[in-house]
Amino acid sequence: MGELGRPAYLRLADLLRSRILSGEHQPGGRMPSIADLCRQHGLSEQPVRQALRVLNAEGLTEGRPGSGTYVRRRPAPARIPRGRYDAAGSPFAGASRDPGPGGVPHWTHDSQKTWATGALALRLRIAEGDPIMQTQYVFLAADRPAQLSTSWEPLALTGGTAAARPEYGPLAGLGVVERMARIGLTVTRVTEDVTARPVLEAESGPLDVALGSTVLSIERTHWAGSLPVETADIVLAAERSRLVYEIGVPAEITPESDVLR
């Protein structure tokens, strides 16, 4: 019954969206119930539900079981500084700088020894099957899961030293650069490869995001010259994150003579 080309649930979604954006439905306010919308627009449950699902997926509304559908208040995404290397650099140095309201940020971790598989071996430039230390982090800010991270370090470098387990012993919580420095490895640069992709099912629970939504994925590697000493996968909810990179401009590029003007 394509009355007007555009399907019923999309027309309803358009209508409700424009009402929300125009302020007719205030942030935090309740939308009409599904039954109400059925009556008001002469539709059955299914198209009404689909319309609401569209708005939920767009992040405009949020359904609370047993209560109603509410217009979302949109917190500005957290700024997560990632440029400039920071001496206090724990894995979450940047993000933990600002406690924000609702609680001091903290994290849990879990290290275990494993062996490098294909892709990982490539990233660390070691052979497949070489032993590595794997550490998983769940980072919480304001009592909400903010960031997942899995870090790998070749045990050929750290094995037998105090730096073998990132979060144990005298070097716990020091950050990769400092910890490596203590065992004689000078980290000279860090690379971060940023991509966005749909959230995996395994991540959607810990990150507290819906299954269809997208995450920012950072593939980070610490280098000592051309030798990778650590690499990590960092995953953040895209809706809540804004990565801030700062890029220095070498002085050579800026000539002292003003040619024009």
Partner DNA sequence: TCGAATTTGTGCGTATGTATC
Partner DNA sequence: GGATACATACGCACAAATTCG
Rule CB under 7 A: which residues touch DNA? 1-2, 7-10, 31-36, 43-47, 49-50, 52-53, 56, 63-69
Shortest spacing between CB 68 and DNA, in angstroms:
4
Q: Enter the tokens of residue 82.
A: 């990632």
Identify what 9 binds: its own copies, DNA, none; CB under 5 to 8 Å per kind.
DNA
Half-sphere exposure of 100 (CA within 13 A, CB side): 19
DSSP-derived pairing of the beta strands 106-115 and 227-237: unpaired
Cβ-Cβ contacts under 8 Å for 25 (sequence gap 6 or more): 16, 19, 31, 71
202 vs 259, beta carbon nearer DNA: 202
Q: Give Cα 137 to chain centroid, integer Å.
A: 13
What's the longest Cα–Cα distance across the chain?
A: 74
43 vs 141, beta carbon nearer DNA: 43
Q: What is the DSSP string of 105-160?
A: -EEEEEEEEEE--HHHHHHHT--TT-EEEEEEEEEEETTEEEEEEEEEEEHHHHTT
Identify what 47 binds: DNA, its own copies, none; CB under 5 to 8 Å per kind.
DNA
Question: Which residues lie near its own copies (CB under 8 A)?
Answer: 54, 57-59, 77, 79, 82-85, 87, 89, 161-163, 177-178, 181-184, 186-198, 200-201, 211-212, 214-216, 238, 241-250, 252-255, 258-261
Identify what 34 binds: DNA, its own copies, none; CB under 5 to 8 Å per kind.
DNA
70 vs 85, beta carbon nearer its own copies: 85
For residues 84 and 98, what is the distance between their CA atoms, to the nearest angstrom? Answer: 16
Identify what 163 binds: DNA, its own copies, none; CB under 5 to 8 Å per kind.
its own copies
Q: Phi first, then psi: give them for residue 201, nearest 5 degrees.
A: -60, -40
183 vs 227, beta carbon nearer its own copies: 183
48 vs 174, beta carbon nearer its own copies: 174
